[in-house]
Structure 1
Amino acid sequence: MRIGELARRTGVSERSLRYYEAQGILKADRTPGGHRDYPEGAVDRVIRIQEFYAAGLCSSKIAELLPCVRDADGGPSAIATPRLVDDLTLERDRIDRRIDELRRSREVLDDVITTAAGGSADED
């Protein structure tokens, strides 16, 4: 599929897809005319890349991680190194801390909303 179709199917801009390719985290063949030609599996790959970015991973860490991830079309092609596992554990811990912070923020907002609505914060 061409880059425009991949962009439409994933909701990711063509510019981002080109960036992913430059970073080595997305691969495309080239047509005789020089256009990018992505396999069907690129849709799942782009969605996975977006998930990793949303989790706060940088492109170099994503490039290191992707070969260790089970794709829809089969198993991983590499085993995560102990260093990568340590790095990812730290990332997961960071995400867990952020989730806790967001939960606390939501509780504060719930209290403000309840108070503003004329109720008490204990009426849940």
Structure 2
Amino acid sequence: MLIGELARRTATSERLLRHYERTGLLTARRRENGYRDYEEDAEARVRQIRALLAAGLPTRVIRQVLPCAYPDGSLDACPGTLDTLRERLAVLDRQAAELDTARDLLRRTIATTEARVR
């Protein structure tokens, strides 16, 4: 599949796909005309990359995790990455708790204010 098609399927810019390739997260063969040619599993790979980046993992860790990915989009922690993934999960859990607290505060503030206005 050409880069434009992969970009369309994954809602990812061609520029970002080229960046993933430069950083070793994605690979493509070159056609005789020089165009990038991606395997069908590249779509799942890009979705995995995007999800791992959204989780806050740096590309160096993603490069270590991707070899243990399955074509269906699931993945296992590769040897040596489990502690890093646990640390990142702990950070996300703390952030989620902080967001829950902030959301609760906003809900209470809105409810209190609306009760006074009525």
TM-score by length of 2: 0.89
For structure 2, list consecutive stretches of 5 or more residues without a partner in the other structure.
none
In the alignment, what sits opposite 1:56?
A: 56
DSSP-derived class of the 1:117 partner = helix
- Is contact 2:6-2:43 (8 Å) kept? yes
Match of 1:90 among 64, 87, 92: 87
**Distance in 2 separating the partners of 1:36 and 1:47:** 18
> What is the deviation of 1:97?
0.8
Cα distance in 2 between the residues matched to 1:92 and 1:107: 22
Structure 1: unaligned runs, 5 residues or longer: 120-124
How many residues are matched? 116
Letter in 2 for 1:24: G
Write the distance in 1 (CA, Å) between the matches of 2:69 and 2:28: 19
C-alpha deviation, 1:88, in angstroms:
1.0
Tell me how large the CA RMSD over aligned residues is.
2.0
C-alpha distance in 1 between matches for 2:75 and 2:111: 49
- Report what 1:112 is aligned to: 109
Q: Is it true that 1:6 corresponds to 2:9 in the alignment? A: no
What amino acid maps onto 1:61 in structure 2? V
**Residues 27, 38 of structure 2: 8 Å contact kept:** yes
Change (3 A) 1:9 1:64: same
Q: Which residue of 2 aligns with 1:30?
A: 30
> Contact conserved, 1:41 with 1:73, CA < 8 A, in 2?
no
Question: TM-score, length-normalised on structure 1?
Answer: 0.85
